[in-house]
Amino acid sequence: MKRIRAYGIIPGEMEPGPLNKITDVAGVSVGHATVNTAEHKTGITVILPCEDNPYKNKLTAAAYIHNGFGKSQGLVQMEELGTLETFIALTNTLNVGKVHDAVVDMMSEQCEREGIQVTTINPVVGECNDSGLNLIKERIIGLEEVRTAVREAKRDFEEGAVGAGTGTVCFGLKGGIGSASRQFSLGGKTYTVGALVQSNFGSTKNLMICGEMVGRELEKKTKPALLDRGSIMTVIATDLPLSDRQLKRVIKRAGVGLSRTGSYMGHGSGDIMIGFTTANRISEERDPEILTIRILKESLLDTAFTAAAEAVEEAVLNSLAMASTTVGYQGEIRYSLTDLWLSGLSTADQAAADSTN
């Protein structure tokens, strides 16, 4: 499978990072554990925000809920305190509780090894409902799978029907995990905004790719999704020095990226955004009672807004382009965007893409 740019489709105008993934933000890594059997199409994806212990050195963070049809955990404290103290885990709807427990176990173990006394931990766990392709009621994701995902975390990670995206459906097609990034200069320094999505939303007829209403053609070729439902988890990382309030402003622009792909954030779609910055780490051990942090000048946030919107748009398209056609546990087939549309693009388009990549 190939990413969306390989077909000559270039969302937005800003430049991507070297990998064009969320891991272009230094210190960030992503890992998956995938379960792909006749009955189960599911898994877990973890986003490690840093190379050290996030509980010991917390990250400035924010959450924003465009539509709250979701079962995520850990967002209440994030909203109140503006910090992230664990890795972020994405899974299916009915496994949120088990993954929460696994994150507590793993973070407790890490803190104990480092001599840190822990009496409270706030795991951040997001979810999408993959019950169309996965026998979700069996709740097969637990501690072993979370350990595997963390152990396998790396910068150049897989996309498509892997990890938490193994059983997701997007615009009636096979969805999955997708990522993208944007880089830009401010004050002579290069900064990065990266996005990762778990795509499981959208009505087929509304799918739009760089302004072209592709969905109207695709709904004639496959079993269409008639309603915009099913959810999307969006994680945005940056190294910009931002306050949690500014970070929330940035991650709100994920909604712009989603709308560019055809999302209307329907009643049954949990559209949830989580963001963190690797700048402004907060160490409870070392820091004095009065903290000094750097924040970006408010009038310069427009560039970050654009970067977030573009990265999310491309991340969704990558999740579709990289996902393979999948047969669910009840025999339902969800075709890939590649099989139904991308593979039919002209050789001239692809040759032009090859010359620019």
Task: Please choose, from the candidates 77, 91, 88, the residue with its C-alpha nearest in 3D space to the C-alpha of residue 131.
Answer: 91
SS3 letters for 154-214? Answer: ECCCCCECCHHHCCCEECCEECCEEEEEEEEEECCEEEEEEEEEEECCCCHHHCCECCECC
Which phi and psi angles does 200 have, rounded to 5°?
A: -155, 45
Catalytic position from the list 130, 228, 239, 271:
271
Cα–Cα distance for residue pair 120/331, rounded to 1 Å: 44
Cα–Cα distance for residue pair 271/235, rounded to 1 Å: 11
> If you search the block for the tokens 């190294």, which residue do you land on?
239
Catalytic position from the list 29, 179, 203, 269:
269
98 contact partners, CB below 8 Å, separation of at least 6: 139, 141, 142, 143
Partners of residue 271 on adjacent β-strands: 67, 232
Partners of residue 92 on adjacent β-strands: 128
**Catalytic residue check, 269:** yes
Cα–Cα distance for residue pair 225/223, rounded to 1 Å: 7
**DSSP labels for 249-277?**
HHHHTHHHHHHHHT----TT--EEEEEEE
CB-CB contact of 228 with 199 (8 Å): no
114 contact partners, CB below 8 Å, separation of at least 6: 53, 56
Cα–Cα distance for residue pair 58/132, rounded to 1 Å: 37
Catalytic position from the list 72, 199, 203, 231:
231
Torsion of CA 178, 92, 148, 165, to 10 degrees: -20
**Catalytic residue check, 24:** no
Burial class (CB in 10 A: 0-12, 13-18, 19+), 152: middle
The residues assigned a catalytic role are 231, 269, 271
